[in-house]
Chains A and B, each alone.
Chain A
Amino acid sequence: MTFSPAAPPLPATPATEKLTLAAVAGGLLALLLALADADASRQRLWFWAALALIGSGTLAWSWLKFGTHPAGVQHDNLWRRASTSRGAVAWATGLALTGFYVVLYWFSADDGHGHFGLLDHLVHPLDGFSQALRGRPADQWFLYGTFYTLAVLLMGARALWKYRHSRYHLIRTASVMFFQLGFAFLLPGLLQFFQQPEYYFSYFWPLKYDYLFPGTVTSLLKNGGLGVFMVFWGAVMSFLATPVLTYFFGKRWYCSWVCGCGGLAETAGDPYRHLSDKSRAAWRWEVRLIYPILAIIVAITALLWVHFATGSTLLGEAGGAAAKWYGFAIGAVFSGVVGVGFYPILGSRVWCRFGCPMAAYLGLLQKHFSRFRISTNGGQCISCGNCSNVCEMGIDVKQYAQRGEPIIRAACVGCGMCSTACPRGVLNLENGPREGRYQASPLIHADSLRILD
């Protein structure tokens, strides 16, 4: 469009908000000081001071920013702030996040003497907590789990304030906070405390791809009662519960209610949801990437089982090598470094949209074997584009709404934000009969042009 409005000044941030943001910045600084300080007791001090400052600062800022305004859609200046519109702040945040993941994955492994590379000074302050929870000292993954859970809880509180006018968002946000804290942090820790395998009951194959690898299965089975239950749980969730729950509720029962990756996207990633690319070109990349990734992990799993069943005679170590390669490229680089590191640039669901094999699997079920759809309310759409804007999965929602069609897309994670952002009450997430699920409203005549495919 030729039009370009004069860049206006942003309304000044109130002094109280600045104070809370300064607390968060101070907390981040304290983390750097912990990294730099050689003294163990001072490391602990810096570390816990950092968490206290970041935590209280985030909560206080969220309340000032969202809690003190009338409840409703609060998107003013979203595309104008550097932090949420790919400005300098966003790039700096992205760089810091990406850097953290690189350091975590490749420069923080245990050297065999309890030293954790570059993150060593952040790992050891957690030893006491880890000992209490898991009965063993902390490691780099425990540090990561702690940070991850804190991010979901703190930014979850922000989401609760921001979306307090919608019970759907309140309940859904509480759900992802609960599953992250309980199922993806405390429970695996407790299992370790009782000398059981560390197992995440909220992650399933093919996202947690190794849970159905023969190596994992045999080692769990050897563990006895609880291990057998874990194998049973994993298989039932992947092959029975997933299709059944998706049939009734769509993919959202997992992606925006339970999943830890989704949980982080819905909380810490919420300020970046609008950055997802809505173009047709991006949709084509989505299809080109996500289904082959699903096919690859299915093939690797099958290969490993054939290898196992034939007494390790067939195909040599091909399956094992492929699994290792997949773990590096998809498990580490895609889901971590790119998936979260690029939040402030590409939006919060890059991994879920382009990479996650579980999302691909759920998406196929949602598209073809589900009662879920987003209904369009007759001819009420005004093509304003607010729905597409807030879609973290990059679905151009208005293309359907303005034609009076229900939105049934494999990608849709059912976060419900399009329905909330719509200023005319046009969109509604519904589970209904499958007959006529794709039927458009007779109140608006859909042009039969090939807009989307």
Chain B
Amino acid sequence: MHLVIVGNGITGVTCALTVRRLRPDARITLVEGESAHHYARTALMYVYMGHLRPSDIKPYEDWFWAENRLELVHATATALHTADNLLVLDNGATLAYDQLLLATGSESRRPAWPGQHLAGVQGLYGLPDLEAMARDTHGIARGVVVGGGLIGVELAEMLHSRGIEPVVLVRDGHYWASVLPPEEAHLVDLQFEENGVPVRYHTELAEILGDAHGRVRAVRTTRGEEIACQWVGIATGVAPNLTLAQTSAVETDRGILVDELLRTNVPNVYAAGDCAQFRRPAAGEVPIEQLWYTGRMQGETVAHTLCGQPTPYRRGVWFNSAKFFNLEYQTYGQAPAGPTPGLNSFYWEHLGSRAAFRVYFRAEAPHAVVGFNALGLRLRQAVCEQWIRQQAPVAAVLAGLGAANFDAEFAPQHEAAIVAAFNRQFPQQPVALARRRGLFARF
């Protein structure tokens, strides 16, 4: 079997590694124009900030690919002829496949703002973006960041690290309003404040203004304010990269349409990761998932199907994590941003606003736990996932909270304070803290 994978991101590479494990004899080729080797998109910001060198964000050393017989083609696939099982590359070569995985990822989404094509306006998705940002923020005084999500705060942190003032425009009344409840968002806001980053809430970009040389000189917001700046970062999300798929008979909508086995409408052609759109997403799940973690899981799932073990994609208990300046964030399970019928939540915040914990549970007895948010403290994923799967009652979870403590040794332990606050708020479900923290808590 010759498997050709278009895209060497986390999805394509995870698929390649899994297929190599399941089918040691398979011929596997990875095609990618952006970079010769797989790199961690998640680490772009650390290269800009000087924490890491470009070579440090390669998850595998260069010898890894040849030793595992993974062929790398550093070229962009420009056309796909599914009738002939043929891929056309921009270097003039063609590549025949038996099976094809499209893992083409995303591109930055840009609503049609006036002035968005000025020099110094960009998103942050890949290496070319990083290069442009390094070039265009060279020696500037202020950059405007549009978008109150994860990339927005990353861009702000990046500019901040070089002594450039970031101004962040956020459409909603608080940070990442689609995901974070207001209390959690407030803690993120304190991070912005502590690092001297001005944020304009309830504010959107109206127009980007240029100078005589076609470079950005200011933005005008929907509240009429004009902010002088020399660079604009667009962080309003990404959209599936369909450039290659649209040259072929592969059916697309917002993304490349796939069934739960990640098959497209064309036999032997699969799609996974950021670029894939499920025709029928499972209840409560979105059709397009654009996370590192989901990319990895989809890559692994599709590899099984490719190797003759048809495996439907099951996301499992949701998890995600991020870091906002110095504040770490983890979430597990169902953790909605606002009040949800049938769900209660209990929120605890450390006095110094350095840590917070929220547990979501069903309103009706036995009050099964469905999700967690953690800020400034670390929770053990395996334990949280087990509680959610087993629908453990919130009282039992809080009593054994120490088992989920993943903070470093000697870190302040908050379990007692959390339980005390819970008992004040929900006296009808009294909890007695039972277990010690750490690995021994399980025994």
The answer to whether A168 has its CB under 8 Å from any CB of chain B is: yes
Task: Report how far A168 CA is from B408 CA in the complex, Å.
Answer: 7
User: What is the distance, in angstroms, from A32's C-beta to the closest C-beta of chain B?
Assistant: 32
Query: B292 touching A382 by the CB < 8 A rule?
Result: yes
User: What is the distance, in angstroms, from A94's C-beta to the closest C-beta of chain B?
Assistant: 19
Query: B438 touching A1 by the CB < 8 A rule?
Result: no
The answer to whether B46 has its CB under 8 Å from any CB of chain A is: yes
Q: Contacts A166-B408, A379-B293 hold; do A3 and B438 have CB atoms under 8 A apart?
A: no
Query: A78 touching B51 by the CB < 8 A rule?
Result: yes
Query: A79 touching B410 by the CB < 8 A rule?
Result: no
Q: Contacts A168-B411, A443-B382 hold; do A75 and B49 have CB atoms under 8 A apart?
A: yes
Residues of the B chain whose Cβ atoms lie less than 8 Å from the Cβ of A12:
163
Contact of B42 among A4, A166, A171, A383 (CB under 8 A): A383
Query: B385 touching A377 by the CB < 8 A rule?
Result: no
Residues of the B chain whose Cβ atoms lie less than 8 Å from the Cβ of A80:
50
Interface of chain A, main secondary structure: loop
Query: A423 touching B410 by the CB < 8 A rule?
Result: no
Task: Report how far A73 CA is from B380 CA in the complex, Å.
Answer: 22
Residues of the B chain whose Cβ atoms lie less than 8 Å from the Cβ of A81:
50
The answer to whether A56 has its CB under 8 Å from any CB of chain B is: no
User: What is the distance, in angstroms, from B91's C-beta to the closest C-beta of chain A?
Assistant: 14
Q: Nearest chain-B residue to A170 (Cβ)?
A: B410
Query: A433 touching B439 by the CB < 8 A rule?
Result: yes
Residues of the B chain whose Cβ atoms lie less than 8 Å from the Cβ of A331:
none
Query: B323 touching A77 by the CB < 8 A rule?
Result: no
Query: B56 touching A385 by the CB < 8 A rule?
Result: yes
Task: Report how far A448 CA is from B325 CA in the complex, Å.
Answer: 35
The answer to whether B281 has its CB under 8 Å from any CB of chain A is: no
Q: Contacts A1-B58, A280-B63 hold; do A168 and B409 have CB atoms under 8 A apart?
A: yes
Residues of the B chain whose Cβ atoms lie less than 8 Å from the Cβ of A112:
none
Query: B410 touching A8 by the CB < 8 A rule?
Result: no
B307-336 contact mask (Cβ, 8 Å, vs A): 1 or 0: 000000000100101110110101000000
Task: Report how far A125 CA is from B39 CA in the complex, Å.
Answer: 56
The answer to whether B138 has its CB under 8 Å from any CB of chain A is: yes
Residues of the A chain whose Cβ atoms lie less than 8 Å from the Cβ of B439:
375, 430-433
Q: How many residues of B contact A (CB 8 A)?
A: 74
The answer to whether A386 has its CB under 8 Å from any CB of chain B is: yes
Query: A378 touching B36 by the CB < 8 A rule?
Result: no
Residues of the B chain whose Cβ atoms lie less than 8 Å from the Cβ of A420:
408
Residues of the A chain whose Cβ atoms lie less than 8 Å from the Cβ of B322:
424
The answer to whether B344 has its CB under 8 Å from any CB of chain A is: no
Residues of the A chain whose Cβ atoms lie less than 8 Å from the Cβ of B18:
445, 447
- The 4 closest A-B CB pairs, nearest first, are A378-B381, A432-B439, A72-B326, A425-B378
Additional A-B contact list (6), CB under 8 Å, known A416-B409, A425-B406: A377-B381, A378-B382, A428-B408, A432-B440, A442-B382, A444-B296
Q: Which positions in B face A, CB cutoff 8 Å?
A: 10, 17-18, 20-21, 35-37, 39-40, 42-43, 46-61, 63-64, 67-68, 127, 130-131, 134-135, 137-139, 161-163, 194-195, 292-293, 296, 300, 316, 319, 321-323, 325-326, 328, 330, 378, 380-382, 385, 406-412, 438-440, 443
Between-chain CB contacts (< 8 Å), 16 pairs: A1-B127, A4-B54, A5-B130, A9-B138, A70-B194, A168-B409, A382-B40, A382-B42, A384-B52, A386-B52, A389-B52, A402-B59, A424-B322, A431-B439, A443-B381, A447-B21
Q: Which positions in A face B, CB cutoff 8 Å?
A: 1-6, 8-9, 11-12, 70-73, 75-81, 165-168, 170-171, 279-280, 375, 377-380, 382-386, 388-389, 398, 402, 416, 419-420, 423-425, 428-433, 441-445, 447-451
